[in-house]
Chains A and B, each alone.
Chain A
């Protein structure tokens, strides 16, 4: 709560700075604001920004750096023989000392030396907090004082404020790029570490997936095999099923809505499809696991088929329902964008409405429709919750939709949820799978967005 108090103090000081700056500007002009280069409020903003920005930067940096330094201090204070022990044990000990200092539960006996180390750590952290409060507030006041002294009739406060504002805006728009870079580098880095343990070709072309690695050398049945082909095949199978559901239904409803439906039906059906897109995926997962999967299993039993209760069919069909709106709304858009003259031409030749649609409109809109389907495919490949809840965990290499298969996203979740040890091949494999997923969906998106854009330009 100390931090929130500090933030509040910073905000209050900034507001006071704004007010003082404004007043100072007016009094510098001898009470006649028209003599100023910039409006008094710009002088106020100038003071406020000069005070707040450096303070915020320092604040954030301190929050990131201080715990690291405190940990170094803690380790350097430990006895030499403790410091030289195996890094994992040292990390555990440091973790315990930290939680003891915070008053949390500790997994070992608390003895005097441990308590002393914890107290030392707590005092370092306390000193750090105090130092931060003092430093941040001092910087804030210094910035405000500097800006305040610069106020004069000719001071170009508006230009300064606008320059700072555009700097902030540029920074905000680079966050999107930083996110992409962050994704790429974090995935590449962890994947690189994964390929140090598991050969590249074994991962991409191996047909056996069993990510349990042995914890002890003498453990039985935990060799660890990282052949991802069964996962790719399972993802493909479920995606194909989903597309088989979504494309006919989505496309036909888009055609009906853009060409046939009256305004009343449109007003009803379009929101219904949008709701379908807005339902959280975890809800679809629950629906798939508890309603659709048992239904398929029971009907399969009635027909004399063995359908697994985690069949690819159930997950695929529900995923298909989920992506219907992606196909339909984008196809609807592109078909509406086909110029009326093409329709009129076809009618003039005596074509019926359906002939016009099939032979003129759909071919004209085909690139856009293909783009929509590609986007839907990318959505289906990356979808997680439905398959986590309704598809299986066993990596079967099969094309039979009645059997259980597993997918890339399911494996990422199972590998990373629960206890993790960050340098085992098991957890690193999740990042390798994540990289494959990211690359695939990125390629699909780039192609799809380009196709759609090219198509839009054609009729604009």
Chain B
């Protein structure tokens, strides 16, 4: 052993001083804080989204009504006294509403003022009166209190979305109208009730008459087609790929293809529907049938992937036992594997359906964006769906449609939460660990 010369460079030793440890611990705490902040931001954004929608939309579930004393003057409605329904239907009932308003505010005589006074009441009032009289001709000759929907501006003002403090020029409701509204409120003639119209009618240009029922029915019809097509096809494809398919180039291609199809932008499916279903096959525009087919193609990969995962989770011992007692491969699958995988498949299907329910873009391409008042009655009637209705209302200029849009979003989210809750429940209830 010879003496080793002292090293020229000092050996690098870890810095074990308390200062460095403190610094490292500080870095550790900062890093944790970043993570927490990130989660907090994500959750806060979700909260902000929900709060902003609920705060904008809750007021659309109620509607302001104005009670007016209507004189069903027999001399005006039915001067001959025949009570002939055709003649009763032809009478201009809006006049009765206007008379009641003029009687309420006798000092309003100027034409312009009278017009804005008439604007306080929604313009379906005449039709409502006509329907009342046609249903019960005995009303003629009597005087009674009838509640009418107020106009959307009146409604928005009463709900407090239009501030009194704004300058008059910036306000949709003018000073004079506010005075009338105050007078009506002081008399106890203004009443806020649950808005049944919103849940029972189709679209309308007038916010107070617009409802989501038409869109909800359209969504239901569309999703029925989607389910009828994508569930059987998806399950069959998954069973084939997972249980029967030989491992070769073709099945590899199908597999890669399905994974890629799941990530294709939804609007591209809309283009496919437009080019193939509408232009090539000549199917009707705006129809739930075509919408359902497009959405079925879109949800198919989701269902196939979920179904394959569920089939894969069934242990091979089950298959071997069935084959061992002499079942054919198809019998093994239909009698044992498929029933055991069904909860997982159904969960995946419900999640796919929830996606389809919220989808908008491909349906815009195939014309489901039209303004449709009637409730669709069949698979080839023109229809729209809930998300498209939301999109249409979001574009409408009237202030009252903001609340309607938010309310429609709340309805849509309720459906989605319900579907996802069912999926989670199904998974919790029937999931088996092998």
Enumerate chain A interface residues (CB-CB to B < 8 A).
1, 64, 67-68, 158, 161-162, 165-166, 168-170, 172-177, 179-180, 182-183, 186-187, 189-190, 248-253, 255-257, 260-261, 265, 269, 272-273, 275-276, 278-287, 289-291, 321, 324-325, 328, 352-355, 357-358, 375, 378-379, 381-385, 388-389, 409, 412-413, 416-417, 422, 430-431, 434, 437-438, 441-442, 445-446, 449
Contact = CB atoms under 8 A, between A and B. Distances in A.
Given A166-B240, A190-B275, A290-B394, A437 B268 contact: yes
14 contacts: A165-B330, A169-B240, A172-B232, A173-B236, A256-B38, A279-B413, A280-B412, A286-B390, A324-B45, A353-B28, A354-B31, A416-B271, A430-B271, A449-B259
B364 A417 contact: yes
B43 interface: yes
A391 B54 CA distance: 24
A182 B276 contact: yes
Interface of B: 24-25, 27-28, 31-32, 34-39, 41-43, 45-46, 48-49, 52-53, 56, 232-234, 236-237, 239-241, 244-245, 253-254, 256-261, 263-269, 271-272, 274-276, 279-282, 297, 300-301, 304, 328-330, 354, 357-361, 364-365, 369, 378, 387-388, 390-391, 394-395, 402, 405-406, 409, 412-413, 416, 420
Contacts of B364: 413, 416-417
B39 A253 contact: yes
A277 to B, nearest CB: 10
Nearest to A438: B268
A388 B391 CA distance: 10
A382 B269 CA distance: 11
A291 B258 contact: no
A379 B53 CA distance: 24
B189 to A, nearest CB: 33
A182 B273 CA distance: 9
A449 to B, nearest CB: 6
A249 B36 CA distance: 10
Does more than half of chain B's interface fall in helix, strand or loop, or is it mixed?
helix
Contacts of A257: 35, 39
Contacts of B330: 161-162, 165-166
A417 B35 CA distance: 43
B38 A170 contact: no
Contact of A383 (B25, B46, B265): B265
A384 B244 contact: no
Contact of B41 (A175, A249, A384): A249
B42 A431 contact: no
Nearest to A187: B271
The 6 closest A-B pairs by CB, nearest first: A382-B265, A256-B35, A280-B358, A252-B38, A186-B275, A172-B236
Given A276-B42, A282-B358, A378 B412 contact: no
Given A158-B328, A173-B237, A355-B24, A282 B390 contact: yes
Given A165-B330, A250-B38, A250-B42, 10 more contacts: A173-B254, A176-B237, A176-B254, A177-B254, A183-B269, A282-B358, A324-B42, A382-B267, A437-B268, A442-B264
B239 A169 contact: yes
Contacts, number: 255
Contacts of B232: 172
A256 B46 contact: no
B267 A431 contact: no
Contacts of B391: 282, 285, 385, 388-389
A359 B128 CA distance: 73
Nearest to A352: B28
Nearest to B239: A169
Given A176-B301, A249-B38, A430-B271, A409 B358 contact: no
Contact of B237 (A169, A250, A358, A384): A169
B39 A431 contact: no
Given A253-B39, A260-B35, A430-B271, A382 B233 contact: no
Nearest to B330: A162
A382 B359 CA distance: 13
A175 B31 contact: no
Given A272-B43, A352-B24, A434-B268, A176 B276 contact: no
B35 A253 contact: yes
Contacts of A170: 240
B260 A445 contact: yes
B37 to A, nearest CB: 7
Given A255-B35, A272-B43, A416 B260 contact: no
Given A253-B35, A383-B265, A281 B240 contact: no
A276 B260 contact: no
Contacts of B378: 1
Nearest to B52: A291
Given A176-B257, A278-B420, A283-B49, A252 B266 contact: no
A282 B387 contact: yes
A169 B244 contact: yes
B306 to A, nearest CB: 14
Given A190-B275, A272-B46, A384 B394 contact: no
A250 B37 CA distance: 11
Contacts of A321: 42, 45, 49
Given A290-B56, A389-B394, A280 B359 contact: yes
A449 B260 contact: yes
A436 B25 CA distance: 50
B267 to A, nearest CB: 5
Contact of A442 (B27, B253, B260, B394): B260
B49 A287 contact: yes
Most chain A CB neighbours (cut-off 10 Å) among B256, B274, B279, B369: B274
